[in-house]
Amino acid sequence: MLDEYDCRGSPVSHRFHVRSPRARQVWLCLFEGARERRQMMTRDGDDWWCEALVSSGVCYGFRAEGDHPFDPSKLLVDPYATHLDRPFAYDPQLGMAGVDTAALVPKAVLTSPLPPLPPRAPVFKARGLIYELNVRGFTMRHPDVPERLRGTIAALAHPAVLDHLLCIGVDAVELMPIVAWIDERHLPPLGLRNAWGYNPVVPMALDPRLCPGGHGGTARHGGDVAAGGDWHDSRPCVQPHGRE
């Protein structure tokens, strides 16, 4: 977790902290590609903190040492992360003691704060129709949505999708899980995957498969850098239609 930051321009000092009451030691792990730099964190009660000179776009995680089940070979994702550099993917090595998982686990990405969205008055009215949908399933095969947008949050703001929702009388849309999740371990051997997202891992980071642009700013996805905030950019497109 970052206490405060301004990631624009040159590297500046940022304060990282994470809660781990039972750890004996915690490290901040900063990444440049596959190269990892570790920095010891300082205990402050149940929390650990440190300051590091970093720039926007840096990838990071944590490692912790202590009694079982602590294992410093396991890279830990910041539970307060809002951007990840890739989706989670299950691998048996994630649960093998002593096996380093830095190459397997997504890293949090440090990004600049988003400009605030202007507040809008609620438009949903009592007894209105709420439509629950799965982002990928609803948009993946829509013939009028550009292929590059299909299966993503950005597709929900496409005029063809909005027109359809208006046509069937939808007043508000409730999205099925869109935060970062991982497949349950029994699915990959069966050639299956969790399509619904009901196995979340990082509750404040949007899943890069659904939202490669993240909340906003810049995010890494599959090794590429995707600019623009899918979530931040899509929301203003919906409310002018009188929908939430």
Domains and CATH numbers, the chain: 12-109 (2.60.40.10), 130-241 (no CATH)
CA distance linking residue 106 with residue 59, whole number of Å: 9
Q: Among 110, 83, 106, which Cα is nearest to 94's? A: 106
Residue 219 has pLDDT above 50, yes or no: no
Q: Among 94, 89, 36, which Cα is nearest to 199's? A: 89
Which tokens in the block code for residue 126? 């009592």
What is the pTM (predicted TM-score) of this model? 0.81
Question: pLDDT-derived band of residue 242, with 50, 70 and 90 as boundaries?
Answer: low
Say what the pLDDT of residue 15 is.
Answer: 92
Say what the pLDDT of residue 112 is.
Answer: 78
Residue 4 has pLDDT above 60, yes or no: no
CA distances from 60 to 70, 153, 189, 210, 234 (A): 19, 25, 30, 22, 27
Say what the pLDDT of residue 244 is.
Answer: 60
Percent of the chain clearing pLDDT 90 (strictly above): 71
Give the mean model confidence (pLDDT) for residues 53-64.
94
Give the mean model confidence (pLDDT) for residues 186-198.
93
- Range scoring the smallest mean pLDDT among 31-40, 72-81, 132-141, 226-235: 226-235
Say what the pLDDT of residue 121 is.
Answer: 84
38 Cβ neighbours under 8 A, 6+ residues apart: 27, 28, 29, 30, 63
Which tokens in the block code for residue 29? 């792990």
The strand ranges marked E within 72-197 are 108-109, 130-133, 172-175, 179-181
CA distance linking residue 218 with residue 229, whole number of Å: 7
Q: How many CB atoms lie within 10 A of CB 137?
A: 12
